[in-house]
Structure 1
Amino acid sequence: MIVAVGIDVVLVDRFTRSLARTPSLADRLFTETERHTRSGSPRSPESMAARFAAKEAVAKALGAPAGLSWHDCEVVPDEAGRPWLSVTGTVAAAAAERGISRWHLSLSHDGGIASAMVVAEG
């Protein structure tokens, strides 16, 4: 059963400027796994912006409760390289309170916009 849906869009250029203006922001928002590809290369600005959109979409699906930790929602690749959500800590607790046991994720970026949509399932 679908419990909630969340969607977010991010202007890639604006997001990139924010990361450049505040160098520690990437560490606060993203885990090491999210910041780099499986080969260890830094992710593209478009890919990073899409991952940020995913975290925002999860928060929206949860009703944007206070106290969520950015690192407790992680976009991770499966064995085929497709993005999935791993939720722990504060995000997992908020999801459990709402009866959410499974997440579905879609990421996209084109034309300077990154987007993410999540479906929360119970």
Structure 2
Amino acid sequence: MIAGIGVDIVDLERFDRAIARTPKLLTRLFAESERGLPIHSLAARFAAKEAVVKALGRADVVVASDVEVVPDEHGNPGLVLHGSVAEEAAARGITRWHLTMTHDAGVACAFVVAETDDPAGGSR
């Protein structure tokens, strides 16, 4: 059952300027495994983190670096959650995450679906 959905879009130029202006954003926003990627990949991952916030409906529990985008065995993007984000997802009974990301024409976009095994959708 779907427990939440989220989508976000990031302007690549604006994101690049923000990173250039404030390099510490890399450590605040991204897990160590993500930090060396090109700017379009970082922007797509940031959009994914924002989409997770929307799917959970709880911006107050999300630390961006606790949402990590990792490839699965086929190279498709997936999510690994840490810290308070993992705790919130577990409390909501979320057992699966689906993620798609794209970048083109100066923007990066991500769409996330959170699923639970609970037929009621894992709502509290």
State the TM-score, normalized to the length of structure 1: 0.90
The answer on 1:91 being equivalent to 2:91 is: no
Distance 2:46 2:82 in 1: 17
2:49 aligned with 1:55: yes
Give the 3-state SS of the residue equivalent to 2:61 in structure 1: coil
The separation in 1 between residues aligned to 2:88 and 2:78, in whole angstroms, is: 18
2:99·2:110 contact (CA, 8 Å) conserved in 1? Answer: yes
Partner of 2:13: 13
Identity %: 56
Tell me the amino acid that sits aligned with residue 35 of structure 2.
Answer: R
Any stretches of 5+ residues in structure 1 without a counterpart?
37-42
Q: TM-score if structure 2 supplies the norm length? A: 0.88
Q: Residue 70 of structure 1 aligns with which residue?
A: 64
Offset, 1:44: 1.6
The structural deviation recorded for 1:27 is 1.0
Residue 24 (structure 2) aligns with:
24
Check the 8 A contact 2:61/2:88 in 1, yes or no.
no
1:110 matched to 2:100? The reply is no
Matched pairs, number:
116
Letter of the 1:81 counterpart: G
| 1:31-55, Cα deviation, whole Å (9 max, x unpaired) | 121123xxxxxx2211110000000
Regions of 4+ moved over 3 Å: none
- Deviation track 1:34-81 (CA, whole Å, cap 9, x = no partner) reads 123xxxxxx221111000000000001000331322221100112222
Q: Name the CA distance, whole Å, in 1 between partners of 2:73 and 2:56.
A: 27
Instruction: Show CA shifts across 1:1-40 (max 9, x none).
Output: 111110000001000000000011111100121123xxxx
Once residues 56 and 83 of structure 2 are traced to their aligned partners in structure 1, the CA distance between those partners, rounded to angstroms, is 14
